[in-house]
Structure 1
């Protein structure tokens, strides 16, 4: 019986206390064991050993008061990892995340400037710094096809030692590229998440209702709770992403996410759009434009619904174009000649259905607002060799009552994406997904502070037949299945001029089938302590209140997106 020889090497990078806006990682020293040590200043050089698999281990420690932060890692101008931090505690916390990075092999094989962008503030109030260590392990033996070229859709600021993410709606995201004639497949991954006014986009209201409860809970945020991320090639719609509703560790009620963070909070997935049907159009030796847009909806008084072509402030957006080359470039040239006028795009407008009901009390003030948005959309694009199609459905039913102090949103996003290689024996790959979400949050003002009572249920499910290479969305290659559910209750309490705290009771279910390996785990956490865990290696303790000290986010508005105080930026 033959066995594969596994060769490996590694490097370690220490990021030290993060107190600045971003970190530029430069300089490295090779070691006799085929490893590299990246210091805080320097440039990445590939390790002195062969590899086809790259995985990074990010370990972070922190102690004190700090709110959760978004962090992005770049190889030059390509975003390769988007994560966020946990809120630290008085006694300190530590977490580790292992990230598959093999899909970026073509970048790892050449010198790169590595930037890890983690914004942070240290002052007399926010005392928690983040100490991070990033380890990468290089090995051989996975034998999975990866892209030959990875082009960034980004602001390309690495030359000035700056992060390269766009911010929408203010930035122009258009980039120009000449696509090689030898390209046989191309896939675009998109990283996009809302911040500030758009962090809780799934709870937003119609724009006409943003001031309905201004006298009680302050202004609300508009453009409805629907968001669509769009990819354009030469101004032609090429594909769509309906985003997963990320909830970071300081959101809704911090007690939900201790010690089990929200789904994807440590690794924000990058949905993919297969643009192979566009290849013949863009393989003419000329520059072609690639652009990412994010839009909400406008709803007029008579219920007419249209794309707003904008959103609130702001979304953090980048993309990558994964290009796979064909050894026989003449095949691509023949196809380009046959499809030079471009693919056939079928992009009918979505079907919208909306409702709205504003109820006033006896004194004429606004008492409750109920609203709903339902959207269905199909999209397809076809060339002589490939066909890409999407079928998407969205619904959100929202209710604000008690003069805006209480809000519940019930949302469901479902979809199916498929790519078909046409011919005498067509080959298709597809993925089906759904994102259920129910969140209820009620806040109140007491004689000496504020409280939030909340409950939630959320999930991320997908089933895929696999595809080309390692997916930036499924984080694996080949057929796979994932089912997650998080549910529970949480409370938050703050004292005027004093401290704040949050506690909760959550159940977390994880089921997957990837690379032929099944996995199941159910974890029950109470007040920051795991009280039951189906994993024999899990640490279980008796439930007891935990002294976490102050929660990081300093206002109700920062936690749930409305109410007194300021947002975090």
Structure 2
């Protein structure tokens, strides 16, 4: 039945035009029968059935038409008096409607210059496409608290769009929903309280007392609050002074990639790049391989970093894969935490300190911002701290490449281990925080048959541990294991007498996270597996290999199978979704732990 449905959908004549970079799209009549609602097939709703917010506020409305190079849309916001602090939960809701066909874009929302959401829009393939993103932003309560008690602030949103090639306008509504009292979802799902996926954030059950943005201070007047990183020799940075009674600090980094690094996870490593000095710019874009590390510095000292999860944008690889489902992490792009508590001894002197953000081996360009989450001691005017251990050797890298013209292969192996330990003396006692992180990364790229066959495999693994102890007693320990494998096979063959090219692609990518939190004798565990398999074809005319100019997709198809499994103690959630030909052909959800175990 599904094959018949897909075949009938493919009979619709669709024509797409986009640039060689894969950023433009034009669909000509007739419009195919596709789903207008785009869906992120992951977690259950962030608010359970029967819960009602104390108040809901529409904080920003904006139509994004020709907004390239313009400052963010901004709205002055004052928290209603009937919605006082504290709140049990705060939910951010972004709903967007696309009036017509348009490219996929990356967008962000800031509160007082501090980012709370980085997201990618779908690529609308018909007028009227719409979607909704809900994110639990309780972690940022300090930002909203600063707007209460008659205070006011600015909520802004950046979405650079253009109507030069396509007419679509993105109409966005941003709302905040505030909850008071003891809500069922917080009590029963503590690990999901402040994040879409369980991460090291689980160590911090209470939101920070203060959040300082590490972003472009001129963001209101320029192209957003993010720092643009063209290479790792030019980091973004901001001077920060923290309160002297800070006893805990966590830096949260937001990141997205564009231009030559939009598909960084597929980049080959060319032999010519290996032979060049790092100071010499290489002539061939995307030649430096597929390893990237997002990292931070304090006055030039390395604070730690993460190899980012490869979020696949809706226009990447084959746009038919992501209609109408979103790739893993596309709607709510992951942020990355660095626990800076061991470094407080270097920051509590009352002087400004420079926090830098960069990406190792970056090509133009990446967009970065960060939030510095700070917990302060209400019973102390000044706490004392010191750094006990700083172990941050260079990442071990093994790079090999063998190429003959367009064919060849390359491989990158990277492995790193860091350990940071520091003490803080406050009214809570003399506590020692230890951070340990190990990364292991491998990228393999193989190209055959005069560049027409490509096979890519990426393995990205990380182990993280944060422990807080008093003397020899461990008060709390968080351990997390994350794996993100990706496999991609593509092929191309001449068609229509050499005037077109028939392309096929198969993709498998996954995010696996296992987490445990120990507090005394109580141990909480959670596991998450988020997997997608996709395959599809395109018939393409034009482009560099066929007369130059723009590529025209004369025909295309795609199907995607998504499977999301989450288990947290006795609570479980399973969702499986299959999409083909632009419509959802199967979508099942269950909270049965037996079903999760069998999947």
How far does residue 466 in structure 1 lie from its aligned partner after superposition? 4.8
Aligned to 2:415: 376
Match runs of 1:307-386 below 5 Å: 311-329=362-380, 333=383, 335-336=384-385, 339=386, 342-359=387-404, 366=405, 368-384=407-423, 385-386=432-433
Aligned to 1:438: 487
Determine if contact 1:65/1:126 at 8 Å carries over to the other structure.
yes
Q: What whole-Å deviation, never above 9, does each CA across 1:527-563 have from its counterpart, x for those lacking one?
A: 12222222389xxxxxxxxxxxxxxxxxxxxxxxxxx
The counterpart of 1:80, out of the listed 86, 95, 116, is: 116
Aligned to 2:62: 15
The counterpart of 1:118, out of the listed 147, 159, 162, is: 159
Question: 1:126, 1:444 → 2: CA distance?
Answer: 29
Match runs of 1:490-529 below 5 Å: 490-496=536-542, 500-514=554-568, 517-529=571-583
Call closer, same or farther: CA 1:319–1:5 in 2, change over 3 Å.
closer
Match runs of 1:420-435 below 5 Å: 420-423=467-470, 424-426=472-474, 427-435=476-484
Call closer, same or farther: CA 1:374–1:247 in 2, change over 3 Å.
same
Q: Secondary structure at the match of 1:355?
A: strand
Q: Secondary structure at the match of 1:44?
A: strand
Determine if contact 1:185/1:323 at 8 Å carries over to the other structure.
yes
Question: 1:373, 1:220 → 2: CA distance?
Answer: 17
TM-score by length of 2: 0.75
Runs of 4+ in 1 over 6 A off after TM superposition: none
How far does residue 76 in structure 1 lie from its aligned partner after superposition? 2.2
TM-score by length of 1: 0.78
Match runs of 1:9-88 below 5 Å: 9-12=55-58, 13-21=60-68, 22=70, 24-26=72-74, 42-48=75-81, 49-50=83-84, 51-88=87-124
Question: 1:62, 1:502 → 2: CA distance?
Answer: 22
Question: 2:340, 2:300 → 1: CA distance?
Answer: 14
Question: 1:501, 1:291 → 2: CA distance?
Answer: 46
Aligned to 1:104: 140
Q: What whole-Å deviation, never above 9, does each CA across 1:403-424 have from its counterpart, x for those lacking one?
A: 2232211001001111111323
Question: Which consecutive residues of structure 1, in runs of 5 or more, have no partner in the other structure?
Answer: 27-41, 213-217, 297-310, 360-365, 469-477, 538-569
How far does residue 491 in structure 1 lie from its aligned partner after superposition? 1.4
Determine if contact 1:24/1:114 at 8 Å carries over to the other structure.
no
> How many matched pairs?
478
Determine if contact 1:19/1:120 at 8 Å carries over to the other structure.
yes
Call closer, same or farther: CA 1:211–1:239 in 2, change over 3 Å.
closer
Would you say 1:195 and 2:258 are equivalent positions?
Answer: yes
Aligned to 1:299: none
Determine if contact 1:157/1:164 at 8 Å carries over to the other structure.
yes
Would you say 1:151 and 2:212 are equivalent positions?
Answer: yes
Call closer, same or farther: CA 1:371–1:18 in 2, change over 3 Å.
same
Q: Secondary structure at the match of 2:313?
A: coil
Call closer, same or farther: CA 1:536–1:375 in 2, change over 3 Å.
closer
Q: Secondary structure at the match of 1:535?
A: strand
Call closer, same or farther: CA 1:500–1:103 in 2, change over 3 Å.
farther
Question: 1:358, 1:162 → 2: CA distance?
Answer: 40
Question: Which consecutive residues of structure 2, in runs of 5 or more, have no partner in the other structure?
Answer: 1-49, 187-204, 276-282, 424-431, 543-549, 592-599
Q: What whole-Å deviation, never above 9, does each CA across 1:267-306 have from its counterpart, x for those lacking one?
A: 101011111001122111111111112112xxxxxxxxxx
Question: 1:234, 1:281 → 2: CA distance?
Answer: 10
Determine if contact 2:271/2:401 at 8 Å carries over to the other structure.
no
Call closer, same or farther: CA 1:348–1:211 in 2, change over 3 Å.
closer
The counterpart of 1:263, out of the listed 311, 322, 328, is: 328
Determine if contact 1:75/1:115 at 8 Å carries over to the other structure.
yes
Q: Secondary structure at the match of 2:346?
A: helix
